[in-house]
Amino acid sequence: RAGSFLLQETTPMKARAIVLLDLDYFYCQVEMLRNGLPAERPVAVTQKFLVVTCNYPARSSGVAKLMRTTEAVARCPDLRLIAGEDLTPYREASDEAMQALRAFGPVQRVGLDEFFIDVTAVAEARASAGAWAPGTHVHTAAQGTTTAEALARTGTAYRPMDLRAASSGSGGSNSGGGSSNKSGSDSRSGSGGGSSGSSSGSSSSGGGGGG
């Protein structure tokens, strides 16, 4: 304990840049790729008699997560139902995503469709090269983004874990409202303590289906 305390006392903690990447409707994306389905086709992945995730064409017809399959088909007659009890394809796709993300830094998997990436080295290199876009505002928080937001509440109408380009003339204090989650992925950037090591664990069985 003494050695550990001395190390913490003499070596200041370095601020880290951590990105959380959440792959949207992950199981559904995997099945659409496996089955060669077009983006506009309503698709839902099921387990037992429930929808565990669905794509946006299905959602626009009223299909929702945890809805009974009978109700989902009634709301969207063109809905393609794909059984998702076998998680093997999703685990394999998650492994592929993790391998690709390692190009940006150490990765920690927190679910089949969610990853923390320590992009500190990449961010520092971009900052040193002056590669950030003009007007970009980077929020940093020594105590973690949620705690800092709760404590500070000073001119931050954006989510503090976001990396946003400030609007012209705003002085970087406000970049607008919340971001859309309707793209293929949702990434959130912030600063956190500690680096992310690689991990192969998922959040339980991965039954969430990717949101």
DSSP-derived letter for residue 184 is S
CB atoms within 10 A of CB 135: 15
Hey, which residues does 116 pair with through a beta bridge? Answer: 20, 108
Catalytic residue among 92, 114, 124, 149: 114
- Residues near 84 by beta carbon (within 8 Å), at least 6 away in sequence: 27, 31, 45, 46, 47, 52, 53, 90, 209
40 carries an active-site annotation: no
Q: What phi and psi values does residue 183 have, to the nearest 5 degrees?
A: -90, 180
Residues in the chain: 211
Dihedral angle of Cα 187, 188, 193, 196, to the nearest 10 degrees: 0
Q: What is the DSSP letter of 10?
A: H
Q: In sequence order, what are the residues at sequence separation of 6 or more whose Cβ sits closer than 8 angstroms to the Cβ of residue 143? A: 151
Active site residues: 114
